[in-house]
Chain A
Amino acid sequence: KQEVTQIPAALSVPEGENLVLNCSFTDSAIYNLQWFRQDPGKGLTSLLLIQSSQREQTSGRLNASLDKSSGRSTLYIAASQPGDSATYLCAVFTNAGGTSYGKLTFGQGTILTVHP
């Protein structure tokens, strides 16, 4: 059974810092890995998707890397801002029984607070 773990569970940093969120997964047979953002009481917003054949993806101040063989991914946020405060969730998409369909398994998330 796929298990996803995120470290740290919570992180508080001053504005302007660069920071790294970590994600690990137990089964390397993944189709892709995704990072999401969740604001309190809201749904999830997709940030980055890395296909299993890729090593990293970038979007603005966000950069996500994937090391499939070691079962690890990192989300790097450059020059953090108070508006980045949210919960960040890592999820891996696993195929179901040899088909291209599958499902996401989520980590418990990292609660990020960026203070002015």
Chain B
Amino acid sequence: DGGITQSPKYLFRKEGQNVTLSCEQNLNHDAMYWYRQDPGQGLRLIYYSQIVNDFQKGDIAEGYSVSREKKESFPLTVTSAQKNPTAFYLCASSDRTGYGYTFGSGTRLTVV
């Protein structure tokens, strides 16, 4: 079955560490996205990528980095520069027109 796989489901980070969240899709979608969701709030766009080897900053990119070396993969690194990283992170993909927007099941990141 086609879909998006995010791993891990839960992640704990110590202060000052970088961590990488995985996102893989087998839907043959060109576009991929990373969102952050805080309790009681909607989704805020961190980064998005329209094609391989290209990506753009979203509304809250500071303290995050991404890469898009393969069409299927769009990993997100939460760096130590992100001051408040505890949140629920969602990855999504779609075709170029926004059709078929599909979300992964999310990664919950907690700073300990």
Contacts and interface: CB of A to CB of B under 8 A. Distances in A.
Nearest to A89: B42
Given A31-B97, A32-B98, A108-B42, A103 B103 contact: no
B40 to A, nearest CB: 8
Interface residues of B, number: 29
B101 A31 contact: no
A91 B35 CA distance: 13
A49 B45 CA distance: 19
Given A101-B50, A103-B45, A43 B98 contact: no
B60 interface: no
Interface string B81-112: 00000001010100011110111111010000
Interface of A: 4, 31-32, 34, 36, 41-46, 49, 89, 91, 93, 96, 99-109
Given A44-B43, A103-B45, 15 more contacts: A31-B98, A43-B103, A43-B104, A43-B105, A43-B106, A89-B43, A93-B98, A100-B96, A101-B50, A103-B33, A103-B48, A104-B92, A106-B42, A108-B40, A108-B41
A-B residue pairs, 8 tightest by C-beta: A93-B98, A43-B103, A108-B42, A101-B50, A106-B42, A44-B103, A106-B43, A43-B105
Interface of B: 6, 30-31, 33, 35, 40-45, 48, 50, 56, 58, 88, 90, 92, 96-99, 101-106, 108
